[in-house]
Structure 1
Amino acid sequence: MVRVTAMDGPEARLTALLDQPGLDLLGRPEPVTSYSNDTWYVRSSSAGEAVLRICWIGDRERMLREAAVGRALPADVGYPEVLASGAVAIGGEPVTWMLSRRLVGCSLRAAWPGLDESRRERALHEVARPLRALHAWRPPTEVAARLGPPPPSTDPPTIIGRSILPLPFDRVRHLVVPATERAGMHRDVVERAWSWLVDHADLLPQLDDPADVVTHGDLHLDNVWWDGDRVTGLLDLEWVRWAPAWTDLVPARDNALAGDEFAEPHGRLLAALRSELPGLEVPDLERRLTAVEVAFQLRQLLVWPEPGPEPAVDHPLRLLQRLLDAV
């Protein structure tokens, strides 16, 4: 018999999970593009149309954390019903998974090209509603315990896998040397970015304080759901974390700087959120956002392919350069 491991690819990981309780699947699953997990549209004999996500890299606990959060969230956040979740070892490697109800519609990013201007504007302002509900939510004790700070680490892959924002400051520090090496001929950009961040470390937020709010952590158009008529909720909560509410502006601002076809709608999303949620405004907000983005892009340098002589328009090196040019 061939021994399957967690590194053998999405099909192998899916096959290895099929005997898990709650995964009574029918027919052939349909793969869905995803950035950090295997994602499949599936049909369950007990639950109907569903989405299966499999976490096999980084901190595998984040999928179980998302499942726990998703089950406890108020309906106003619009998160899909969690049907089942679990953990299993595949070839000795831990893998976690979650099955959730498949929603009617698509992401706002996928819907965007087909929306007229009035619906685009309305949709962007509607995003504030589920985000406001998330920020107002106080998780029950057993869920709150899962939102604690990532364990201390000096290992870059561990830091990258455990949080999308590599904060506090000491965690970013451990990414600088490998990020500089990864940048190759562009290492001067990383050195300038790190020097600026050291000089402005006071702008970085304190995270993991339950006195703050539960933040989404990765709020961009791919993680906003559109049912064909309106925004109905927020998806993909694997990076939820206690943090100041304004940090949920970082992904929209970051995507607005990317220079690709979705830079403009993300810039408009940023403006809509700031208009609808004035409580996100804090002193020196622009520079605070820049400081967090610099830390985030140092992380992203270790996730993206090596830049080569001419980095892509949305490569982390390009974004670091734009951030530095604006300060």
Structure 2
Amino acid sequence: MSASGTTPASPDGPLYPGGMTFPTMPERLKHVCSAAALVPRTAPHRIESQSNDTWVLDDARLGSVVLRICWRGDVSRMGRETAVLERLPDTVRRPVVVGHGDTTAHGHPLSYSLTRRLTGQPLEDAWPALSTAERRSAIRRTASMLRALHRWVPPAELADGVCARPGLAAGTADDLVGADIAPLPVARAVALAEHVARTPHGDAGLMSAAVQLLRALGDPEPAVDDPGRHGLIHGDLNLSNLWWAPDGTVSLMDFEWTRIAPPSLELMRMCEYADDDAVNEADTYPSVLRLLETEYPELFRAEDIARHVRLYVLAYSVRALAIAPPDGPADSLPSGHAVHRVRRIVDGRWPAPGALPDSLVAAV
């Protein structure tokens, strides 16, 4: 499975299920440039991205823009992201949308968005060189945007569109992986764990224990996809999706995994990274979480947040196993493989000591 849940062996694999030719990256770029009437004045520059093709290009009509091409999983998420970006309040800094649409290549659906290119760099890249005051300012600005986002009440039709998941109709593992970065409600994560157990090197015992814990942590389950109870979250909050400008302003990037969910779900990726940092004796994300708690304390005081954070990271880790199932015994896999995180969560050894603020650590 690919990073967003489709099945080609590689981004440029020759065949798609059913024998359909799968478009290569250059073909995807060519089809989208044609559909969007783009005329790059210089060769587009590719930016690393986990779930899309992302390009910086200088267009004859639009100038300097970022083009993102969605081709894996539920490609309708690009339309949801665009609708959100166009309606968010000004207090949530984000790129300006200048174009979006859908097309096909070799019969395979593609969606795309075009945004004005921002000056600066991802906060992840800027962080090591920032002073203590600059880091605190960056997280203070981030907290302010998150608070505004979480308090915003989207129009009913937008909320309904954000909740729609047309790709889930078939209910396959690919569909579940491609729908959301956090496979919730819990039934989705359970289905993925059961799928992983059936893979050649899946640990059926571990997956059975993961299913039991998912159900225990999800009782009562934190509501998702319910506009009557919650508003929007970004959905993939981490330093690479925060943009640091030379004047110290911060913008939120990449809303493709946005959804209606409790604000606490916003902490999922940062907690995952913080645990990884603690295991590897680094302090980037542990310090980011401590700063964020200072600037947005109410986010860390949600009812049952420690239990919910553990649920979120377990569900996310099970999804990671569905994307990249073990290809051998656990002791032969790299230390960063998701199977080790799932084992530690199930055994009560997650998070690593010092990784998370005390407010996020559940007693086991």
Superposed pair shares fold, TM > 0.5:
yes
Out of 195, 200, 203, the position equivalent to 2:212 is: 195
Who is 2:319 aligned against? 299
Who is 2:14 aligned against? none
Q: Secondary structure at the match of 1:296?
A: helix
Who is 1:218 aligned against? 236
Who is 2:58 aligned against? 43
Who is 1:206 aligned against? 223
8 Å CA contact retained: 1:203, 1:287:
no
8 Å CA contact retained: 2:202, 2:325:
no
Q: Secondary structure at the match of 1:18?
A: helix
AA aligned opposite 2:284 = P
Aligned pairs, number: 324
Who is 1:24 aligned against? 39
TM-score, structure 1 as length reference: 0.91
Alpha-carbon distance in 2 for matches of 1:142, 1:75: 20
Alpha-carbon distance in 2 for matches of 1:49, 1:61: 25
Who is 1:123 aligned against? 138
Closer, same or farther in 2 for the Cα pair 1:149/1:94, shift >3 Å? closer
Matched, 1:278 2:293: no
AA aligned opposite 1:170 = A
Larger deviation: 40-49 or 119-128?
119-128
Closer, same or farther in 2 for the Cα pair 1:241/1:273, shift >3 Å? same
Alpha-carbon distance in 1 for matches of 2:35, 2:317: 37
8 Å CA contact retained: 1:257, 1:319:
no
Who is 1:179 aligned against? 196
Closer, same or farther in 2 for the Cα pair 1:314/1:125, shift >3 Å? farther
Closer, same or farther in 2 for the Cα pair 1:38/1:105, shift >3 Å? same
Q: Percent identity?
A: 33
8 Å CA contact retained: 1:58, 1:161:
yes
8 Å CA contact retained: 1:224, 1:231:
no
Closer, same or farther in 2 for the Cα pair 1:69/1:22, shift >3 Å? farther
Larger deviation: 307-316 or 222-231?
307-316
Out of 229, 233, 240, the position equivalent to 2:251 is: 233
Aligned-pair RMSD on alpha carbons?
2.3
Matched, 1:160 2:177: yes
Who is 1:320 aligned against? 342
8 Å CA contact retained: 2:176, 2:183:
yes
Provide, for residues 32-51 of structure 1, a one-character-per-residue CA deviation record: whole Å limited to 9, x for no partner.
10000000011112221110
* Cα shift at 1:177: 2.2
Q: Provide structure 1 residue ranges, at least 5 long, that are not aligned to the other structure.
A: none
* Cα shift at 1:183: 7.8
Who is 1:100 aligned against? 115
Who is 1:143 aligned against? 158
Who is 2:75 aligned against? 60
TM-score, structure 2 as length reference: 0.82
Alpha-carbon distance in 1 for matches of 2:137, 2:34: 44
8 Å CA contact retained: 1:82, 1:101:
yes
* Cα shift at 1:144: 2.4
Alpha-carbon distance in 2 for matches of 1:247, 1:253: 10
Alpha-carbon distance in 1 for matches of 2:61, 2:48: 25
8 Å CA contact retained: 1:127, 1:231:
no
Closer, same or farther in 2 for the Cα pair 1:197/1:11, shift >3 Å? same
8 Å CA contact retained: 1:54, 1:98:
yes
Q: Provide structure 2 residue ranges, at least 5 long, that are not aligned to the other structure.
A: 1-19, 351-363
Closer, same or farther in 2 for the Cα pair 1:35/1:44, shift >3 Å? same
Closer, same or farther in 2 for the Cα pair 1:72/1:320, shift >3 Å? same
Closer, same or farther in 2 for the Cα pair 1:287/1:142, shift >3 Å? closer
* Cα shift at 1:229: 4.1
Provide, for residues 148-195 of structure 1, a one-character-per-residue CA deviation record: whole Å limited to 9, x for no partner.
243555311001111111111222221122222448265443332222
Alpha-carbon distance in 2 for matches of 1:291, 1:224: 24
Closer, same or farther in 2 for the Cα pair 1:291/1:123, shift >3 Å? same
Closer, same or farther in 2 for the Cα pair 1:68/1:228, shift >3 Å? same
Q: Secondary structure at the match of 1:190?
A: helix
Larger deviation: 27-36 or 10-19?
10-19
Alpha-carbon distance in 2 for matches of 1:311, 1:9: 30
Closer, same or farther in 2 for the Cα pair 1:218/1:33, shift >3 Å? same
Alpha-carbon distance in 2 for matches of 1:126, 1:319: 31
AA aligned opposite 1:169 = V
* Cα shift at 1:59: 0.3
Q: Secondary structure at the match of 1:85?
A: strand
